[in-house]
Structure 1
Amino acid sequence: MLVGAESSFAALCANEPELSVLRASIRDFVAADRAEFGWQPAVDAWLSQWDADFSARLGGAGFLGLTIPTEYGGHGLGHLHRYVVTEELLLAGAPVAAHWFADRQVAPGLLAYGTEEQRRRILPEITAGRFFSAIGMSEPQAGSDLAAATTRAVATDGGWILNGRKVWSSGAHLAHAIVVLARSTPLDTEHRHAGFSQFLVPLDADGVSVEPIVMMDGGHHFNETTFTDVFVADSEVIGKIGDGWHQVTAELSFERSGPERILSTAPLILGLIRALSQQAVDERTAAEVGDLVARLISLRQLSVSVARALTAGESAANQAALVKDLGTRFEQDSVVLVADLLDYVDANSAAQPALRAMLATARAHSPAFTLRGGTNEVLRGVIARGMGLR
């Protein structure tokens, strides 16, 4: 544990002995799993590399559900423990998309707002890497303005009837369920954020339709999910009816502040550095690499500070929005910088084909980095309000 005599810098490193042991363990697991099953490091793996078997192996090895209490099948650890594991998975470019949203958002959401039945039914499956969820927030006409969402939930006997459309629901074509934000009371123009509720909707329910949104490189992980008179039982309401906005706002701190907001391109950056380290480089190239790494380290420390705040039970919505803004802009910048630096890697280097392939993927995904999780322009308004500037 950190004590007052230690510097504030040490608090940003996440190097306490138990975290170092955990970091070594997940590194060993990743290396062994890749050697046995042959998956290759990928850019943006947390969003696009779906491998249900890998998630099950990860859960079986004890690396999922770290923040879930033991009474619900988890490991009873803190946000920093989960941070260390997710950081190492991202650095390795491991295929983590299947379990990502369930472990990152659904689990803390259920712990904070779910019923006892929901927790006992779902949390052990998340810990085991066997429950996969999509997130249904954004809508075609609403974008980052979630208060403009028009998906409706109308009360009926034993539950709710859901109608509406959600976009960018990553993994919905493969997931078991989707967490949907919907209006459960008519819009009050004076209180636009009121009247929302959250529903856990099985994706095989009658009336649910999932259509692919294909990336320009042919990849498919985004979807448009339509709900037509979908019955959702009362048992699948998350939290209290009408408290959806408060719940989502808290949930977004986990979504926006994690290491995935700065490390989506990390396998490409690390691969480039390894390749350059095998040859002589001039001072200009060394300086550019140094600048790239320095920016990454600084952002990582900001992200760790949010993880510590969440561990302490503090609100970190403003800090999380800041990490997301700065981090995703760095990710976009890193694609351009790596593209330039890659020209300095020996053309005969064995690393060239893999680096070029990852760069092509990064270029295709780069425009979305600053959009997902709330556009950066909107988040700057959130940050300004949090600082009392608006």
Structure 2
Amino acid sequence: MRAFRFDAPELPADTTALRQRLRAFLAEQRDAGLYKPNRNSWISFNAEFSRRAGKAGFIGITWPKEFGGHALSNLHRYVVTEEMLAHGAPCGAHWIADRQSGPQILRHGSDRMKRLLLPGIAAGECYFGIGMSEPDTGSDLASVRSRAAKTEGGWLINGAKIWTSNAHHAHYLIVLVRTAQAGENRHIGLTQFIVDMQSPGITVRPIRNLAGVHEFNEVVFRDCFVPDDAMLGAEGMGWSMVTAELAFERSGPDRFLSDYRLLAELIHKVGARPDARQSVEVGRLIAHAAALRRMSVSIAGLLEKGHNPATEAALVKEVGTSFEREIPEVARKLVPVEPSFDEPGDDFSEALAYVLLNAPSFTLRGGTREILRGMIARGLGLR
């Protein structure tokens, strides 16, 4: 049986200066009224904020300088990520491109795609979405039915993707499709393509969540042409590339800090003299957050060494999003306040209302609990 280890690497010494510089940038932006701290900042779309963050050097920081990056480590990027989340910065425009699409292009993209797209991402001016999940297939990613057929100079994509965050804003999607028939091994014959959202043959249909917010979409492709050099990696490499990509998606602090603002407001609400129950429950949440941070930093260190910690990332995502689902339930028990958007000045009530409406999605996006637990069991040698 395999045992997981989450040895936390020491953050580089210069991350302290990076953290201070970012805090000063965020304070300046907030004090100037250029953004208001959001309850779920990494899905909050603000193109102007992303452009300013790019200009200040906080996007694509691990990439080579020739592509607009700063040649820093994944641990430096971790510091930027957690500070953005803790301060409620509206990162949704650049989030996916910076977190996973850019690294995929850097590793597997053609020279033209790298030079065309990476500088724009680093500048906070080029946005990406993820085309993985499909209608009627649940979380079984290997059951992809969208197809790409070879044609002169490229490929024609037909099919549909669903739950695609910010597809209505994205300039590009990285789409997983079948380029060959699936056999007994359904992981064979899958390929990823970079799709320009301005291409003919694409229809984007909105899906509103419980909070009435248009974040999710269904994206339909009908004979959508993509050129040969828009393929990521080689034909048939899609499954191995997706699993590596999911290590970026599932392991970061966004998987346990989505409702950080509610946790902060809860601490303020119980005040300096909490009762015994409040002390125990809030203390337990803080301890869980600290443990999750260590696990997440550890994966950043593994990524920096070139490893593919897909199973460890699945564990962080499963435990982290369960933690996120727990915070609003604990908050409701400890503070008898009606969640509402209509109580001016009551930040706790507003944060609670927002998180309660969004929390059901936390354990779905990026892989459901059932899928993640299956991955973890296999990683432990239990199935």
TM-score range, shorter chain: over 0.9
**Matching residue of 1:154:** 149
Q: Which secondary structure does the structure 1 equivalent of 2:167 belong to?
A: coil
**C-alpha distance in structure 2 between counterparts of 1:88 and 1:353, whole Å:** 24
**Matching residue of 1:130:** 125
**Which of 327, 333, 336 is matched with 2:329 structurally?**
336
8 Å CA contact 1:172, 1:225 repeated in 2: yes
| 1:89-168 equivalence runs, <5 A | 89-168=84-163
| 1:235-384 equivalence runs, <5 A | 235-277=229-271, 279-343=272-336, 353-384=346-377
Deviation at 1:13, TM superposition (A): 7.3
**Matching residue of 1:32:** 28
Distance change >3 Å, CA 242–CA 161, structure 1 → 2: same
**C-alpha distance in structure 1 between counterparts of 2:34 and 2:264, whole Å:** 19
Runs of 4+ in 1 over 6 A off after TM superposition: none
**Which of 4, 8, 13 is matched with 1:12 structurally?**
8
8 Å CA contact 1:275, 1:351 repeated in 2: no
8 Å CA contact 2:109, 2:230 repeated in 1: no
Question: TM-score by structure 2 length?
Answer: 0.94
**C-alpha distance in structure 2 between counterparts of 1:368 and 1:135, whole Å:** 16
**C-alpha distance in structure 1 between counterparts of 2:120 and 2:227, whole Å:** 20
8 Å CA contact 2:8, 2:297 repeated in 1: yes
**AA in 2 matched with 1:269:** L
Q: Which secondary structure does the structure 2 equivalent of 1:221 belong to?
A: strand
**C-alpha distance in structure 2 between counterparts of 1:92 and 1:339, whole Å:** 23
**C-alpha distance in structure 1 between counterparts of 2:282 and 2:311, whole Å:** 30
After alignment, is 280-289 or 115-124 more displaced?
Answer: 280-289
8 Å CA contact 1:200, 1:238 repeated in 2: yes
Segments of structure 1 that go 5 or more residues without pairing to the other structure are 1-7
What is the RMSD computed on CA atoms of the aligned residues? 1.8
**Matching residue of 1:174:** 169
Deviation at 1:38, TM superposition (A): 4.3
Distance change >3 Å, CA 344–CA 185, structure 1 → 2: closer
**C-alpha distance in structure 1 between counterparts of 2:335 and 2:93, whole Å:** 31
**Matching residue of 1:4:** none
Structure 1, residues 174-210: CA drift from partner, whole Å, max 9, x if none?
110111000011221x110000111111112111000
8 Å CA contact 1:321, 1:383 repeated in 2: yes
**C-alpha distance in structure 1 between counterparts of 2:262 and 2:237, whole Å:** 41
8 Å CA contact 2:174, 2:192 repeated in 1: yes
8 Å CA contact 2:337, 2:349 repeated in 1: no
Question: TM-score by structure 1 length?
Answer: 0.92
Q: Provide the aligned length of Structure 1 versus Structure 2.
A: 375
8 Å CA contact 1:271, 1:351 repeated in 2: no
**C-alpha distance in structure 2 between counterparts of 1:367 and 1:192, whole Å:** 30
Sequence identity percentage? 46
Q: Is 1:45 matched up with 2:45?
A: no
**C-alpha distance in structure 2 between counterparts of 1:55 and 1:341, whole Å:** 36
